Chains A and B, each alone.
Chain A
Amino acid sequence: MPSLGSIRRSFAPWSDPDAKPYISFRNVTKRFGDFTAVDNLSLDVYEREFFSLLGPSGCGKTTLLRMLAGFEEPTEGELYLDGQPLKGVPPHKRPVNMMFQSYALFPHMSVADNIAFGLKQDGMEKSARDERVAQMLKLVKLEEFAKRKPHQLSGGQRQRVALARAVAKRPKLLILDEPLGALDKKLREETQFELMDLQQELGLTFMIVTHDQEEAMTMSDRIAVMDKGIIAQTGTPAEIYEAPNSRYVADFIGSVNVLEGQVVASDDGHVTIEGRDGRFTGAVRGQGPAQGKTVWFAIRPEKMRVSREKPTDTENAVQGEVWDVAYLGDMTIINVRLDSGSVVQAAMINHSRLVDDPIGYEERIWLSFSADAGVVLDR
């Protein structure tokens, strides 16, 4: 069977039924007053995994991490770390370090002292400590700033100090709350790879919160997409991207075109829907949804083919007028207004520098896609 995405994974403890989870949330609920921030959530994360939490603001990501670090106790449910229940274990006794969303650098200490704080607390001797601090400063490229106070640093530099401080103790589990948000694109990408190297090298488990889906896709072994205190879907980046389980997830990660319709024919492996945008056939695994049901066909823009003539090799084709064209360098995004009124997006890779007859505004074109290019979603 073909696999999702373009990478073969050798590290996949989550698909091994005998693997023991390192972190385990068991039906965890967290309420603040009568507001439920985390709602009956269960989640397993495995040792050495790079796990990302993705979700809109206020969906409970930080709350989840804070329960793991020991700053909040679950209202209901149990949390396990390496098989041990975490209930009642104070933060300083957990083999967990957290990088705070607000950085929480000690303002009265220099950069080096901030990084050394946790090591000192562990009673590490001075020479080893200095060496570790130097190593951490090098990692975050702040060697010249060792003596500075946090208020003398830029936002991005502060963030890197916070990162260095959290990593310095080499905790078995590192929790990062939006670690790279304040960095510029280039530095962010560099730091992403450094984090991945560090994680590989030290064999740490990372649990990271990010708003940046591209960042999550780049770094993670698995991603959990959250929605108002629940996990909407957990999976590898490819699973989340290519096989989202709901319109919410499909829409949250990347761009997606959603075509609504009622099931008119359904058999083993295929389903045909008909709606205001036309009639499409999609591939499904196993038995398709029942006839008459409203479902959604979700197709990523890059999986749309653009042509001037009606394609003959597929039934899945719609016609419309070019509404907007955005040239991004590596690709061109075209927004097409269908005859039904919906706007659909297509992305074309710019294979060559020169194009003989480029598509222009207000031109009538065809968009088509194969049956397995999109997913049929029932919610």
Chain B
Amino acid sequence: MLRAVTNRLVILIPYFWLLFFFLLPFLIVLRIALSDLEYGQPPYAPQFSFSDGWEVISEKLSRLDFENFAFLAGDKLYINSYLSSLYIAFVSTILTLLIGFPLAYGMARAPENLRPILLMMVILPFWTSFLIRVYAWIGILKREGLLNQFLLWLGVIDAPLEILSTNKAVFIGIVYSYLPFMVLPIYSTLEKMDESLVEAARDLGCTRIAAFWKVTARLAVPGVLAGCLLVFIPAVGEFVIPDLLGGSGTLMIGKTLWIEFFNNSDWTVASAIAMILLIVLVVPIVWFQNAQARATEAGR
């Protein structure tokens, strides 16, 4: 009896966690997003209070005007920020995949005693602060930075490249920062894979390349999906990288949100931006969940 109760409690813990650290903050932000802007502390006037009775709340909800959301829809800046964020995140994810897959593949095929060292090397950058690592890229990418000096010294270019303060720098920053999130899940699927599957495919008439696509790449799909999601989702809302490495032309929703919140002190619009961002990201997450379930079912 007591056991049954304890068991149930253990199952409930993650739900409590989600409730307190996800659902409640979500509701608070949602309430701010639905509020009116006001000059004061805090800078918004709530439309309803959680302490109202349910009937009062639902009655007040039915009279909401969603003016902050309407404002976002009306201003091109916000729509462009979203689109530009998605675009930058998408391109960065593809680039990270293109670099991460061969890396993960090489690691998974390395001699067994070397693998922990390689794994360590992938994780090692996490030991320094993210901010410092991104900041260091400024020194590398700027006009008279290390990269330009090196390329000039090699004679590959005659004039320094303009990389810093462009989207290129943002791509580089995201790919660099999120690479481990791509490499690790792919590595873990590839490492588990039985090498004799590739041999079986070759034995049955595949060239090396065909066997790679039909077996290795196919079986790595769950890892690739997980890696892409782990890069794409945070990259969409990324703030530090576009702020430090991007230029004035770099439009990203994280930066826009920051400006609304801190520079304009407009909590209500900032909250609305966050709400929309959440909805935009739920779509790929749900899609991923489905794809993942299917891939796991198929790849077991």
B-binding residues in A (CB < 8 A): 69-71, 90-92, 96-98, 100, 102, 104-108, 117-118, 121-122, 149, 151, 165, 169
Contact = CB atoms under 8 A, between A and B. Distances in A.
Interface stretch (B148-156, B158-166, B202-210): B202-210
Nearest to A121: B205
Q: Which among B205, B207, B219, B299 has the greatest number of chain A C-beta atoms within 10 A?
A: B205
A88 to B, nearest CB: 14
Given A106-B215, A107-B219, A90 B202 contact: yes
Given A102-B194, A106-B197, A149-B298, A92 B202 contact: yes
Nearest to A98: B203
B205 A108 contact: no
A170 to B, nearest CB: 12
Given A90-B202, A100-B200, A106-B215, 18 more contacts: A70-B202, A91-B199, A91-B202, A91-B203, A92-B204, A92-B205, A102-B196, A104-B194, A107-B197, A107-B219, A108-B298, A117-B201, A117-B204, A118-B204, A122-B205, A149-B298, A151-B300, A165-B200
Contacts, number: 64
A92 B203 contact: yes
28 contacts: A71-B202, A71-B203, A90-B202, A90-B207, A91-B203, A92-B202, A92-B207, A96-B203, A97-B203, A97-B204, A98-B200, A100-B196, A100-B199, A102-B194, A102-B196, A104-B196, A104-B197, A105-B200, A106-B197, A106-B201, A106-B215, A107-B298, A117-B204, A118-B204, A118-B205, A122-B205, A165-B200, A165-B204
Contacts of A108: 218-219, 298-299
A108 B299 CA distance: 5
A92 B205 CA distance: 4
Contacts of B299: 107-108
Nearest to B298: A108
A121 B204 CA distance: 7
A98 B202 CA distance: 10
A-B pairs, 5 with minimum CB distance:
A121-B205, A118-B204, A104-B200, A104-B196, A91-B202
Interface string B206-229: 111010000100110000000000
Contacts of B300: 107, 149, 151
A102 B195 CA distance: 11
B210 to A, nearest CB: 8
A108 B200 CA distance: 14
A114 to B, nearest CB: 9
Contact of A71 (B199, B205, B218): B199
Interface residues of B, number: 20
A113 to B, nearest CB: 11
Contacts of B204: 92, 97, 117-118, 121, 165, 169
Contacts of A107: 197, 219, 298-300
A121 B207 CA distance: 10
A118 B200 CA distance: 9
Contacts of A102: 194, 196
Contacts of B199: 69, 71, 91, 100, 104
A69 B218 contact: no
Contacts of A92: 202-207
A40 B200 CA distance: 27
A102 B193 CA distance: 13
A270 B112 CA distance: 58
Interface in B165-205: 194, 196-197, 199-205
A121 B299 CA distance: 21
B241 to A, nearest CB: 36
Nearest to A162: B200
A87 B137 CA distance: 51
A175 to B, nearest CB: 9
Nearest to B202: A91
A96 B202 CA distance: 11
Given A149-B298, A149-B300, A151-B300, A106 B200 contact: yes
A102 B194 CA distance: 9
A151 B194 CA distance: 14
A49 to B, nearest CB: 21
Nearest to B211: A92
A105 B215 CA distance: 11
A13 to B, nearest CB: 26
A96 B206 CA distance: 13
A100 B202 CA distance: 12
Nearest to A100: B196
Contacts of A118: 204-205
Nearest to B218: A108
A33 B111 CA distance: 14
Contacts of A98: 200, 203
A106 B200 CA distance: 9
